[in-house]
A and B are shown apart, each in its own frame.
With several copies, the nearest count.
Chain A
């Protein structure tokens, strides 16, 4: 069983038009840069993307938006992208906004075989409209459904040939949970190592969740808001 792919092009060749893809990352931090770019080059169309944000105009998911490859975006916050705004206004793209914690928990439920769950988040707001609500122990909850995808594109720091992954700092974010909730999870890593090289107590994503893994040739790791102290 060989999980290793040589190039991001080989990975995105598996993705048909119209697919639903979860893409890890928070802002531009911890995004699968190489897979996103390969998808843009391949030109796969009518995609539904599930990701916390929509990138910026010229980086990350923003590049797929600019190439008009998206049909729908499911996210929690999309404020940093003018092209996205334009496409929403013209109706070229559908958008579904979900509270960040509910987005994470729905994906977790999808990966963990949970049929649905009650969360306090969004009760009494537009988020709860049309949804079942329930009072449990005096507190009000909203029923939320699991979320799954055809593919998950995740970015990790280091991974091994069996698909085990570890992450670095806040580049972890949505990557581990998305890795669990897709039919086919493809991981790109900065360094691909032999099994046994990663501390088995420190592995965050067990290889069982990862179908394909590749080492990205390079990482730009663009910074969205460079804030420094003197």
Chain B
């Protein structure tokens, strides 16, 4: 099996459309930027106040005044612009971001998302996650299908505190691509080296399996 994360972010990258304004969450979602199809042009938003995030800098290019929302040093692309946190989240909340890709602890049949805290563990804060899921036009979850301990992350109902209710549009894991619909979770595609049964086995939520399920 290929590297799980590589497979996930490559599949997510195929959801990008020419002209999209995209916010990539911290961690695995950030890697989606490395797989943007060559024939399309997207603009990356960083909620700390930048539209037009470029690749990481070379040593010579490092600028302490230029970081992304993960606090990593980055560069800007030509035609980028900067704005305040208030303007940045006005942009997010106002529905101007076409797509955000985020990680998750749990997602459920209603599209509820939990990705900011585990009760009993230390509370770090939600940062901009609640704003992004409430505001972005489309929310894609990029995550490994199960927990490190082998448990399910795609549940009938989230048990952790929510980041937002009914906010997820699509879930991409190393095993499957699952769409959140009014009727429930629809299995759109499975990985080339797995089976529908295998995906179901690793999923607590009920999956609706249409006649045609694609492969990726």
Q: A and B: partners?
A: yes
For A188-229 the 0/1 string (1 means CB < 8 A from B) is 000000111010110110111100000000000111111111
- Stretch from A6-14, A40-48, A64-72, A93-101 forming part of the interface with B: A93-101
For the complex, is B181 an interface residue (Cβ under 8 Å from A)? no
Closest partner residue, chain A, to B114 (CB atom): A125
Q: Are A26 and B124 in contact (CB under 8 A)?
A: no
Is B65 an interface residue, CB under 8 A from the partner?
yes
CB distance from B93 to the nearest CB of A (A): 3
A192 shortest CB reach to chain B, Å: 12
Q: Say yes or no: is B79 at the interface (Cβ < 8 Å to chain A).
A: yes
Q: Inside 8 A of A36's CB, which chain B residues have their CB?
A: none
A92 within 8 A of B: no
Contact of A120 with B by CB under 8 A: yes
Given A76-B125, A101-B128, A227-B72, A123 and B65 touching (CB < 8 A)?
no
B58 contacts A228, C-beta separation under 8 Å: yes
State whether B96 touches A208 (Cβ < 8 A): yes
Task: Report yes or no: A204 in contact with B84, Cβ–Cβ below 8 A.
Answer: yes
The CA of A160 and the CA of B82, in the complex, are separated in Å by 15
A-B pairs, top 7 by smallest CB distance, nearest first, are A195-B79, A101-B89, A1-B19, A196-B78, A101-B131, A113-B93, A124-B165
Can you pick out 6 interface pairs between chain A and chain B where the beta carbons lie within 8 Å of each other? A29-B67, A125-B161, A170-B49, A196-B79, A209-B91, A227-B72
List residues of A whose CB falls within 8 A of some B CB: 1, 26-30, 52, 75-80, 85, 88, 95, 97, 99-105, 107-108, 110-114, 119-127, 157, 160-162, 164, 167-177, 180-181, 194-196, 198, 200-201, 203-204, 206-209, 221-230
Interface residues of B (CB under 8 A from A): 18-19, 21, 41, 43, 45-52, 55-59, 62-74, 76, 78-97, 112, 122-131, 134-135, 161-166
